[in-house]
Amino acid sequence: MKNKPHFKIELKPFWADGTVKYMDISCSVGKPEIKAGQAIVSYCRNVVSIPFCKIDGDIISFWDDQGEIPAESHYAGVLSSFMEMVEWRAKRDTAGDIRYSYRVFPRELPKDYRSSPYFDFRAEEGGANGAGITFLAVPPQQEYCISLKWDLTSMPEGSRGVWSLGTGDVSIEETPNLMQFSYYAVGRMKSVEDGDFGIYWFSEPPFDMDKASNRIRDLYNYIAEFFEDEESVYRVFVRRDPFEKSGGGTALRRSFMFGYSAKVFPTVEDLQNMLAHEIVHNWPHIDDEPAGVATWFNEGTAEYYSVVLPHRAGITSLEQVLEQIEGRAAKYYGNALRALSNMELAKIYWEDRRAQVVPYGRGFFYLANTDSEIRRVSDGKRSLDDVVLELVRRRRRGEKLTSETWLELLEKELGYSPREKYDQMTEGTLIVPDDEAFGGAFEIEDDEVIPEGASDPMPTYKWRIK
């Protein structure tokens, strides 16, 4: 760790009324040599509709060898089409190492809030958790020797600090991007841990946490093995939502967070598919268009494998698979916006919740059909798994993957161009389920549905176990 500059992060939460009231963030960066007018740090004012924490006094203070660095915040535009950036720019050249600090408050939820991506840093009884993207201001993206340190001197005894990739104080060679897109939890947390695998929560949930932990563990082991993963680090963070429409999950690097409502009581069976979905997200991923929204491949593979892998593992029955398919059919075929193209959906993605659901179902049914097609062409010797696993292997080697990589690998399996069907899928053409989808275990009958907000019936399908 010699040639890279250091980036030290120290997090110091303060405890009051049974939870984290605010957190001081103190950082230092090794000799960045910022020129007057350049950004010393940036942060994401808004990530897919989730705001950055309130900063005390709206001030970040900076120092270097010459004392305080005068600096000003500027709106810096939208990055990757889903992050609104703010930069703090130096008003003079800097000299030597830089230190900066600020205080953030956990997010106060707006009224009538419902589950959204779990990026926000939020407090509940016992502590606070959230993703770095909503509380970390970071130096320019490059590799650093990053160290994370927790100062728990203003926290009650027994408090801990946990990060997606490590507990307590941690060092790693990485870019600040990793620190932003990973999870942090601090407080008097409960946990189940086994080496670098852990599950962390504060309030006692209304479901059987022992059973949930075992289920997460079983799912993780099977799914990680399927995706040929040999790393042991994986962490799951749990939060209690104070609102009713909860039950969501968000996956970040080698971790995910899920929420449950304090007002409705889910069972482990209710949670099961969401847990599997978030775990699958750790592996298949392409840089797909449109950026910043759910896409057919990333959500489609999470949907597809969250249904088929638990069944292959013997965790779910065929009846449960059927239920999952029916639920997805209702959301996709019964969606008035299902004929919009992927690009059109992205435009209204954050205004219309119906638009958010379509890529999930579209990807799910397209992948299920693709699986049958590969099996048919190869006389059952090959399947969708071969394509997806090859994508996962390439990603592990650091290759950049796009929909073109998908098409190229798929063409190799099929022996003909998959582009026409692919284009139809991205343009919003109805996906008619293949009779042999899901190993031909189901009979599929034509049906009709009148989607919410539409007046004419549209085709849908009834699934029955053969």
The alpha carbon dihedral of 406, 407, 408, 413 has a sign of: positive
Task: Return the amino acid letter for 198.
Answer: G
| Cα–Cα dist 269/316, whole Å | 9
Stretch that binds Zn ion, among 78-86, 168-176, 293-301, 410-418 (CB under 5 A): 293-301
- Residue of this chain nearest to Zn ion (CB atom): 302
Q: Are 5 and 31 in contact (CB under 8 A)?
A: yes
Q: How are beta strands 83-90 and 6-16 bridged, if at all?
A: unpaired
Q: Are 327 and 319 in contact (CB under 8 A)?
A: no
Task: Work out how close the CB of 397 gets to Zn ion at its nearest, in angstroms, rounded to a whole number.
Answer: 24
* Residues β-bridged to residue 252: 255
Of 121 and 296, the one with the shorter C-beta distance to Zn ion is 296
Stretch that binds Zn ion, among 186-194, 239-247, 300-308, 368-376 (CB under 5 A): 300-308
Of 302 and 414, the one with the shorter C-beta distance to Zn ion is 302
Task: Work out how close the CB of 290 gets to Zn ion at its nearest, in angstroms, rounded to a whole number.
Answer: 16
Report the candidate in 350, 368, 355, 351 with the shortest Cα–Cα distance to residue 451: 355
User: With binding defined as CB under 5 A, does residue 293 bind Zn ion?
Assistant: no
Task: Work out how close the CB of 193 gets to Zn ion at its nearest, in angstroms, rounded to a whole number.
Answer: 25
Show the site string, 214-233: x = touches Zn ion by CB under 5 A, - = not: --------------------
Task: Work out how close the CB of 360 gets to Zn ion at its nearest, in angstroms, rounded to a whole number.
Answer: 7
Coil vs helix vs strand at 206: coil
Coil vs helix vs strand at 202: coil
- Triad 85, 293, 130: Cα angle to 5°: 60
Chain position carrying tokens 């099996």: 375
**DSSP codes, 420-454:** HHHHHHHHT---PPPTTGGGGTEEEEEEEE--TT-
Of 299 and 434, the one with the shorter C-beta distance to Zn ion is 299
Task: Work out how close the CB of 211 gets to Zn ion at its nearest, in angstroms, rounded to a whole number.
Answer: 23
Stretch that binds Zn ion, among 72-80, 159-167, 227-235, 296-304 (CB under 5 A): 296-304
User: With binding defined as CB under 5 A, does residue 302 bind Zn ion?
Assistant: yes
Binders of Zn ion among 55-114, rule CB under 5 A? none
Report the candidate in 303, 307, 283, 282 with the shortest Cα–Cα distance to residue 294: 303
Of 103 and 362, the one with the shorter C-beta distance to Zn ion is 362
Of 94 and 301, the one with the shorter C-beta distance to Zn ion is 301
Stretch that binds Zn ion, among 15-23, 133-141, 301-309, 350-358 (CB under 5 A): 301-309
* Residues β-bridged to residue 68: 63
Stretch that binds Zn ion, among 84-92, 211-219, 295-303, 442-450 (CB under 5 A): 295-303
Q: What's 222's DSSP letter? A: H
Strand order from edge to edge, sheet including 166-167? 122-124, 127-131, 183-187, 160-163, 166-167
Of 299 and 371, the one with the shorter C-beta distance to Zn ion is 299
Stretch that binds Zn ion, among 155-163, 185-193, 228-236, 299-307 (CB under 5 A): 299-307
Of 278 and 434, the one with the shorter C-beta distance to Zn ion is 278
Residue 257 token pair: 């967070």
Task: Work out how close the CB of 251 gets to Zn ion at its nearest, in angstroms, rounded to a whole number.
Answer: 7
Task: Work out how close the CB of 302 gets to Zn ion at its nearest, in angstroms, rounded to a whole number.
Answer: 5
Of 299 and 373, the one with the shorter C-beta distance to Zn ion is 299
Helices (H) and strands (E) in the chain, counts: 10, 24
Show the site string, 252-291: x = touches Zn ion by CB under 5 A, - = not: ----------------------------------------
Of 190 and 245, the one with the shorter C-beta distance to Zn ion is 245
* Residues β-bridged to residue 442: 465
Strand blocks (E) in 202-301: 234-241, 249-252, 255-261
Task: Work out how close the CB of 306 gets to Zn ion at its nearest, in angstroms, rounded to a whole number.
Answer: 9
Element (H, E) at 54: strand 54-55
Of 41 and 47, the one with the shorter C-beta distance to Zn ion is 47
Of 42 and 273, the one with the shorter C-beta distance to Zn ion is 273
The gap from C-alpha 375 to its chain's centroid, in whole angstroms, comes to 31
Count of chain residues binding Zn ion (CB under 5 A): 2
Show the site string, 192-211: x = touches Zn ion by CB under 5 A, - = not: --------------------
Which ranges of 169-253 would DSSP assign to H, the alpha helix?
Answer: 176-180, 209-226
Task: Work out how close the CB of 145 gets to Zn ion at its nearest, in angstroms, rounded to a whole number.
Answer: 32
Question: Which positions touch Zn ion (CB under 5 A)?
Answer: 299, 302
